[in-house]
Amino acid sequence: MSGGKITLYDTTLRDGAQAEEVSFSLDDKLRITEALDDFGMSYVEGGWPGSNPKDKAYFKEVAKLRLKTSKIAAFGSTHHPGATPAKDKNVKLLLQAGTPCVTVVGKSWDMHAKVALGISPGRNLDLIHDTISYLNRRVDEVMFDAEHFFDGYAADSEYALQTLSAALDAGASWLVLCETNGGALAFDVEKIVAEVSRRFPRAKLGIHCHNDSDSAVANTLVAVKSGAKQVQGTVNGIGERCGNANLCSVISNLQMKMGYKCAPKNKLSKLMDLSQLVFELANMAQRPHQPYVGRSAFAHKGGIHVAAVKKNSTTYEHIDPSLVGNRRRVLVSDLSGKWNVLHKAQEFGIELDGKDLVTTNILDELKALEARGFQFEGADASFELLMRKALGQWKKKFEVVRARVVSNFSDAKGDNWAEAVIKIKLPDGTMTHAVAEGNGPVNALDKAVRVALVDYYPELSDVELHDFKVRLLDESSKTAAMTRVLIESGDGQSRWSTVGVSANVIEASWQALVDSLEFKLQKRSSAKRTGKKKTGASR
């Protein structure tokens, strides 16, 4: 174990926003800033003031926030070769941002100076020195981002080191070594950072890695091991091309595996919430298999694994999930054993004895249904109903006498509709009949069944369908393939998922839909029996 303090520098709002299909609004950026500050981030890079009006507005609005831990950094480049720093438009905008910290990116690869800027390597050193010197007299702190440093070092190590000397001589507080192309591997990064540490023993070094070779996290960790005291990255690793170093993994590894102090210990448990917030505001689907903070990071499916974790969690978990705000999940499938079933029973508030024959029966039925195409690991509500039926804890809430759905569509705009007719028998023997239109057959069935039931079961008025997924189980059979439908429903307090399987997509949808309503009614009756609210299979 090592030790010491590592400074965290987040560039989600600038580098992360350069990811394909990511566009943060001004309000998004302010919300993320507050979340990063609450987490304990040392620096938050807000954007490039000269690049767009939104970033310019951000610096004006962020100054109104009462941040406790984070310094806001404005990002920009060295001055234009044809101007002085005092007359350079982008340098002026950096100062107008009014931030206590400015990060200046400059070329550290001689090829970039010649090709990208069209100037001599010597002139590039002047740009670095003069820009940082000018800003250093006007803001509290100036950082130098040495762009393409590792490629530059490989091409001409002495020149790459000269760019660092120019920045340091001008008063840069941090020298940040940027692995901009994302192609370097850990053993090269470790060696180069160690050499920079040796050449500049009094300089404060940072590391900024991209992920084009899937090595950004590893490169960041070895850089710290070799002397870097600041790590830059983005939440969830979002960023241009393949992204940046994922701070969720970097922070977790540094703090829990390498003994460094990054974030306040009591804040680490907010890491998963921070990850989910950024995914939500970036309008990106969460990555369930993301280390530490992904929904599947501590999910156990194999029966042997579940049995072992039940005895000692360290058998198949490298940390306590709660340390990063995550939780253990046990999945049920055809790979399950008795411990999977017992764990889910406990999760559902069901008393089940592993030695009882009913446990074996539930496991056998689970495996038989999975063989037919059902998938319960994403449909907890359907599995809970299966268990309660096996235990005699389920009472049929309604009986469908008959149902019919008609769907019509054409190329004419607005001429798509579906109509469902349904007749249902209620527990008291009453027959109820309903007709409803929808924008598709499933939507029409959903509306019709609830119209038929809502007077008898008013609690169903709160149920909404949130998601609907269809998958063909045997694509080679094309239109004759078995179809699996997953439906996610909610009532404003919790959400639950149900599953249906059939060669007929309407029938599969109907199975999942009926399970969804049955689960809601079962949840309500269970809550009445226990005298308390029951969350059931809420996500």
pLDDT tens figures, 393-433: 888 888 889 888 888 766 656 667 889 999 999 989 999 99
- Contact of 266 with 230, CB cutoff 8 Å: no
Q: Is 195 exposed, middle or buried (0-12, 13-18, 19+ CB in 10 A)?
A: middle
Per-residue confidence (pLDDT) for residue 2, from 0 to 100? 57
For residue 2, give the amino acid letter: S
pLDDT, tens only, 17-64: 999 989 999 999 999 999 999 999 999 999 999 778 899 999 999 999
Give the separation between CA 385 and CA 359, rounded to whole angstroms: 14
373-390+463-539 against 398-456: fold identical: yes
Report how far apart, in Å, the C-alpha atoms of 203 and of each of 4, 153, 157, 169, 414 are: 16, 18, 18, 11, 67
The three-state DSSP-derived secondary structure of 46-108 is: EECCCCCHHHHHHHHHHCCCCCCCCEEEEEEECCCCCCCHHHCHHHHHHHHCCCCEEEEEEEC
Under CATH, to which class is 373-390+463-539 assigned? alpha beta
DSSP per-residue codes, 260-272: -B-S-GGGGGGHH
Neighbours of 3 (CB within 10 A): 9
Residues in the chain: 539
CB environment 384-404: b (16+ within 10 A), e (fewer): bbbbbbbbebbeebbeeeebe
User: Coil, strand, or helix at residue 12?
Assistant: coil
Pick the closest to residue 11 from 83, 139, 101 (CA basis).
Answer: 101
- Contact of 521 with 510, CB cutoff 8 Å: no
Any idea where the domains of the chain sit in the sequence?
7-281, 299-363, 373-390+463-539, 398-456
CATH number of 398-456: 3.30.160
Per-residue confidence (pLDDT) for residue 120, from 0 to 100? 96
**Residue 21 phi, psi (nearest 5):** 70, 10
* Torsion (CA) 258, 264, 266, 272 in degrees, nearest 10: -70
Beta-carbon contacts of 309 under 8 Å, excluding residues fewer than 6 positions away, are 300, 315, 316, 317, 328
Give the residues across from 422 on adjacent strands. Answer: 403, 434
Q: Which helix (H) or strand (E) holds 3?
A: none
The three-state DSSP-derived secondary structure of 137-167 is: CCCCEEEEEEECHHHHHHHCHHHHHHHHHHH
Per-residue confidence (pLDDT) for residue 352, from 0 to 100? 83
Architecture of domain 7-281: Alpha-Beta Barrel (3.20)
Q: Which residues of the chain have pLDDT under 70?
A: 1-2, 333-336, 409-415, 474-480, 524-539
Q: Is 467 exposed, middle or buried (0-12, 13-18, 19+ CB in 10 A)?
A: exposed
Give the separation between CA 46 and CA 76, rounded to whole angstroms: 11
Alpha carbon 450 to chain centroid, angstroms: 35
